[in-house]
Amino acid sequence: MSNHGADYTHDATANNNAHVGATSGRDPNNAHLSSSTARDGETLSAGSTANGSYGRMADHNHNALEKDFSRQDGINGYHQHLDHNTDSETALHRLRTAGSISISPELFEKLYLSPQNQVKGDLRKTFGNPTPLALVGFLLSLFPLSMTLMGWRGAGGLGAASTGFFFFFGGLCMVLGGLGEWILGNTFPFVVFTSFGAFWLSFAATLQPLYNAYTAYKVPGEATSTGQESVGFNSGIGFLMVAMGILCLVYLICSIRTNLVFFLIFFTLVPAFGLLAGVFFNNSLGNVAAAAKCQEAAGAFAFVTCLLGWYILMAIMLASVDFPFDLPIFDLFGVIKGASEKRKVDHVE
């Protein structure tokens, strides 16, 4: 692939490099890469660009994500900018003639739930977006658990009926999605998804007698003892919930660089895990009534988390198929400037 940063010196025909849609206040004179390889038909892929510059400008969006739609005959081999505000009809018309289309940082962040970053190679042009898979695993585990915690329709047992979902949706799908993010170089979603995948696998294993998590606390000689009522078991699980709450607090802070919906997901998960810790700590003290109230409140917070999760999943899926309309996720990318952006501003000044 070749850098087109110098193409702005061309004559008036260079105006074909028209940008589609708004770029959310970012400089439109980005340096982009277009494909130098002829392809059959139209191919849709996502990839990161190389560094480029135009004059004295220090453009923080120089590594914008691109989609390659190169034609074999090389006609109309120019590039255009496509952001999340572009309507479907206009986008499809541009895709038929464009050599390459750059995606705005807002759309990148919507698809990957991560600030746009620079990676080597064309892996984003080779592999699909793993983010929706991880979200599906998360939602199909937490959504039924949240209703179970609230005791809807007599549900209970800490979601033991959904143990299979915890293993294969929460565990398998989230770990696979996290590994996909790792391959693409998206560190933040990689850590989030794999850590939650490990949590669901651990939680599911705890519910299984095979792993001796609670049966180790059974009182010998008491037929009614399961170990789940013991102080040791409840305190131990309570500490695990505290640790997950702290982890979600770290993610909450980092998510300020993503979007409002993702931020609110962690904003509701922190108290959810805190209340779950209260459930087990109160059980260890024999405060059954207080534990029940904490459990219901934890389920309510988790339910709100799931509503936000369903929303962001829908937004990503609509964007992935270029649906005629999209759902806003309220980008927070510019709320807190990144360290690299600050260095560039200081360098220009």
pTM for the model:
0.66
Contact 249, 271 (CB under 8 A): no
Give one DSSP letter per residue of 3-50, joined into a string.
Answer: E-GGGGGS-GGGGG-PPPS--TTS-S----EE--S--SS----EEPPP
pLDDT tens digits along 60-70: 443 333 333 33
Read off the pLDDT of residues 289-348 as tens digits, 9 standing for 90 and up. Answer: 999 999 999 999 999 999 999 999 999 999 888 899 889 888 887 777 777 777 766 666
* Per-domain residue ranges of the chain: 2-103, 131-320
Q: Using an 8 Å Cβ cutoff, are 139 and 132 in contact?
A: no
Q: How far apart are CA 327 and CA 247, in angstroms?
A: 28
Q: Is the pLDDT of residue 58 over 80?
A: no
Which residue from 78, 82, 53 is spatially nearest to 66, judged by alpha carbons? 82
pLDDT for the residue numbered 315:
92
Judge contact between 105 and 116, C-beta under 8 A: yes
Burial class from Cβ neighbours inside 10 Å (0-12, 13-18, 19+) for residue 286 reads exposed
Residues 103 and 76: their CA atoms lie apart, in Å, by 19
**pLDDT tens-place string over residues 208-235:** 888 888 888 888 878 778 888 889 999 9
d(CA 318, CA 310): 12
